A and B are shown apart, each in its own frame.
Chain A
Amino acid sequence: MSNRILLGCVRAAGGHAALLAVAALLGAAAGLVIPWAIGRTVDAVLLGGPGPWIVVTAALVLVAAGADVLAEFAAVTGTARATAHLRRALLTRIFTLPHPIGRPAGDLVARIGGQAADAGSAVGAIVGGLVSVLPPLGSLVALALIDPWLAASLVTGLVLLTVLLRGFVVRASVSAQGYQRVQGMIAGLLAEAMAGARTIAAAGTAETEIRRVLRPLPELGAHGRGTWAALAVAAGRTAALAPLTQIAVVAVAGVLLTHGRLSPGELVAALQYAALGAGLGAILGTLHRLVRARSGAGRAAEIIGARPRAHGTRVLPPGGRGTLRLDDVTVRAEDGHVLLDRLTLTVPGGATVAVVGRSGAGKSTLAAVAGRLRDPDQGTVRLDGVPLAALDPEALARAVGYGFERPALAGATIGDAIAMGRDHAFVPGAARIATIDAYITRLPRGYATPLADAPMSGGEAQRIGLARALHGDRLLVLDDASSSVDSVTEARIASALLHETHGRTRLVVTHRRATAAGADLVAWLDGGRLRALAPHGRLWADAAYRAVFAPDGGA
């Protein structure tokens, strides 16, 4: 799969991939011939005149330089194309996968961001990886052709270089870890201060806070110097080894020259091949790029290979009132633990049903299957007689609206975050029902205020989330969707919902007694089963039911 994705990236780069391959190959070949041509030129000059060799050399240099320029252009643009292509594929797939994907958002951002770019650079990495082998290996061959001793001295130098550099990574990473730890400590202290920002600003205790946050700074500096010291050791080794390798080759070439086994021009060529050959170490770098491209593709493959949610093609019968029916529904968690146990429940069309129960009773799972945020492992969920899984995705999206305890809002503006790609016409009305319109009109640019510029409390975010859910024209599933709203506002919302979303079925997960009391029916869940479906007033006599609403205790 990841190989298919890499191939797809190469294909998406299109003509750029071919251009890159040709240019890179041409550049490498020209680069390999140039030292030889320069050597011939020097020999010719020493014998009396450069003749045609100077022209050959100049032509080769032009070819090499031109090829480099083209290759760089093709690599950058090809990578950009392939990356954009892969990102589109990833995004399309991610948003057709059922929730939860089982990966944190940060992880997905990384897959779409840096890792997609890594995979997108496959073109450059593959071509670059293949071509980068040419100069060092070619040089080695060229040196061996000039004289085997030259090749032997180069190889000896390089082996030493590789062995000596290995020790570096370990030492540098020790200091780097200490550095990151202290940096994290300072960041943590700063985050604390930012969480208490209003207190600090109002009390004028900024200077005390600054001293407190910066207390570990000297330790950070000490670790930082440690990384430089480790780097210094490595730099010293590299600085010595690269020239020493070349000196070894030149010394051998010089001795051969005195014995007449080499011409001055061949010495010139050997010198340059020695420099090119030292690039053998850089092959490790291109290998590393290739490994990264492959791992980026692998990360993409995990997403693209995942199975998207299946949909049917049926639509809802016109005039249905949003009757929700769960038959024998069982849902299990990843670890096999039963969340909902053969639950059967009918919610009459147009009714408000409160879902209550202790935490872990299965309330949110019920909410998730009720509007097909999640498919049950067994059993069926029907809306107006049609199984949700058989519904056309657009019909489902039109019929069902979800409100969450912690809504995640996305979109460029507040208006976009509510509309989510739908016509904005319903937005102001929905905001009014969710009693968030007063908040929005007090924002600098109203509904056009960028989401990032609209600071909101948990309760305000919930009400935006609620407004967003109101597009659902048959079923509203509100999963603790106004728990952070104060009780006055919640009462207003409840009343607005009652009067203005009339005719829609409402399934409301709640911890609040008042909400349960206001519903037509209460679905009381206990251990994944339906313990009772009855009006609140009737259930209240039961002490176990009353215990459901006991607070878990404050401070």
Chain B
Amino acid sequence: MGAATRYTRAELWRDRWAVARLAGWSLAEITPGLISGYATARAIDDGFLAGDARTGLGWLGAYAVAAGVGAVGARGAYRRLGDVVEPFRDRLVARVVTDAVRGAAHPDRAATARLTRQVEVVRDTYAGLLTTVRGFVFSLVAAIAGLVVLAPVLAALVVVPLMLGLGSFALLLPALARRQLGAVRADEDLAATAEPMLRAHRDVVAAGAGDWAARTVAAAAEAQRRAERSVGVAGALRGICLAAGGWGPLLVLLVAAPWLVDRGIGAGALLGAMVYVRGGLLPALHLLMHGLAGGGLRYGITLRRILSVSPVVLPSLDPPDHGLLRMRDVSFRYGPAAAPVLDRFDLDVSAGDHLVIVGASGIGKSTLAALMSGLLTPQTGTVRCAGRVLLPQEAHVFTGTVLENLRYLAPAAPVLRAVVLLGAWPLVNRLGGLGATIDPATLSAGEKQLIALVRAYLAPEPLAILDEATCHLDPALEARVERAFSARPGALIVIAHRLSSAARGREVLLFDGARPVRGTHAGLRAASPSYRDLVGAWSDPALLLRDVDGLDAVARVRLRDDPGEVVADRAR
């Protein structure tokens, strides 16, 4: 638990003044604990037993006043606890957000869960641990100090069994922590197995696989039971430590009682000592032994999990000597046993290029886009790229004004021309103008893409990479957008979703294996049977199966040479 401990120590040190104030109020809080036994002893020995009820009540009154002080102290201590815990939590939230956003190249779907659940667990257990440790230390000090004032010999008698109990608990703690860790993991495994299976209820029923589903999840539940049982055994051992440390001192006091009375220790003092043991030590030990293992473990595990997220820092790509993009000898695969996505691949893109990447889905086109823009690093080979803007399929639109969204990559750019050019004016108008605030949840996928496209169009970077970034637009709008980008200074790379995109490009990169082939649309059609297949399938998939309702396939392919013509889907 090294990282978590280091982090906690640094955080406590950072908030040392707040911690000091917390300690100050805790001192006030513990006043009744300090006084309880002594006041009881005096009240009995000097008051009630001596037949002087007034003195007895006087001492008890003093104890009551101390209880009042304690109440004020407890109140203050809880407020100060907030001063320690909330800044700690603020920084943790900032850290989770920073790590998640900085590591965004590998988007982390668990990040929001970390933010809402894990940070809360850490906040609660941090506060709980501060309370536990603080409560134990102060109660222990108060009880021992009180015993010393009553009679040092009483303190000596109490400390021996107390240490025995604490020492054996310290020995047990690692095993206890290990077993609780096992139980926590088993719990998580159960949830991780059950949740997708239950989400798949329809699919399980449809496949008649109910037995398998129930068995799979029940196996995780059984593992969880075994883990809980082993916690139970450790918990029983902890009970023995608690008995030794908490009940032991009481028995020792009773056994030594005759000897103590002989040495002139009164009934009241004996009683006072018992008050310290049963009212102070026993609850404090109970708190420590139950709180430390459970809370400390949850704290340690959860904090470590948050800390272990280290954002992948992306290496920045150097620009090539000339041109905008240069890939040399690039090989990439997702794992040692996985088939390569790219195998010693070369590519050059210069200003004025308009390259369309086509290929079956799942073959690695998006991987190529990620390699070009530095989101992935190839195992071998080099990628050099000038300024580029990558537009993925899932557009990033955030809560903010339309203008803020559009100027995201170009803070001072005039936006109107681009809005009109890309056909986004009706959308902007509907949203309430450039100053209106966008709620991303209310936009359709296509609307989001359009906003992201205008934004990318405005960006100063010369190379635009559209990774199926127009897939939710209708074909007419897609054509308009691609033509606008094609006329933009610099170069354009389009990962195509429809054939019409390929037909608009100056060149086509056919992705049909780990070594894509580059050529013109016409050239590839002549040279590559697999491209012909693709074109045939794309222009009308039904052709593969049988003749359809006539018309479109041929007509559409013919349209490609006329850049002024909108390539419309005939079915519209």
Contacts and interface: CB of A to CB of B under 8 A. Distances in A.
A105 B70 contact: no
Interface string A45-57: 1100110001001
- 9 residue pairs, one from A and one from B, having the closest CB atoms: A196-B396, A397-B208, A444-B335, A421-B212, A228-B82, A555-B446, A491-B541, A76-B232, A236-B75
Given A64-B247, A87-B217, 11 more contacts: A69-B239, A191-B112, A198-B105, A231-B78, A232-B75, A243-B32, A244-B64, A412-B193, A452-B192, A485-B361, A488-B537
A321 to B, nearest CB: 20
Given A255-B53, A555-B444, A236 B71 contact: yes
Contacts of A251: 56-57, 60
Q: Is the interface of A mostly helix, strand, loop or mixed?
A: helix
Given A46-B261, A76-B231, A518-B546, A554 B473 contact: yes
A203 B389 contact: yes
Contact of B224 (A84, A199, A235, A488): A84
A492 interface: yes
**Among B57, B440, B446, B541, residue most surrounded by chain A Cβ atoms (within 10 Å):** B541
B208 to A, nearest CB: 2
Contacts, number: 537
Interface string B65-108: 00110111111111101110111011001100110111011111
Given A84-B221, A243-B63, A471 B207 contact: yes
Nearest to B225: A84
Contact of A442 (B97, B261, B338): B338
A209 B60 CA distance: 61
Given A445-B335, A460-B362, A42 B542 contact: no
A96 interface: yes
Nearest to B212: A421
8 contacts: A186-B93, A194-B104, A199-B452, A224-B89, A410-B197, A412-B193, A513-B571, A553-B474
Interface string B192-211: 11111111111111111111
A1 interface: no
Interface stretch (B149-157, B249-257, B519-527): B249-257
A92 B63 CA distance: 61
B400 A212 contact: yes
Contacts of B242: 65, 68
Interface in B104-140: 104-109, 111-112, 115-116, 120, 123
A57 B251 contact: yes
B214 interface: yes
B341 interface: yes
**Among B109, B338, B390, B498, residue most surrounded by chain A Cβ atoms (within 10 Å):** B338
Interface in A54-80: 54, 57-58, 61, 64-66, 68-70, 72-73, 75-77, 79-80
Interface string A409-448: 1111000000011100000000000011011011111100
B101 A200 contact: yes
A200 B409 CA distance: 10
A217 interface: yes
A94 B79 contact: no
Interface string A374-386: 0000000000000
Interface residues of B, number: 180
Contacts of B82: 224-225, 227-229, 232
Contact of A514 (B48, B76, B112, B540): B540
B207 A225 contact: no
B94 A214 contact: yes
Interface residues of A, number: 174
A254 to B, nearest CB: 4
Interface stretch (B268-276, B298-306, B343-351, B555-563): B268-276
B537 A492 contact: yes
A50 B537 contact: no
Given A205-B408, A442-B364, A553-B474, A46 B267 contact: yes
B328 interface: no
A255 B86 contact: no
B89 to A, nearest CB: 7
B239 to A, nearest CB: 4
A224 B225 contact: no
Given A80-B225, A498-B545, A408 B57 contact: no
Contacts of A487: 498, 537-538, 541
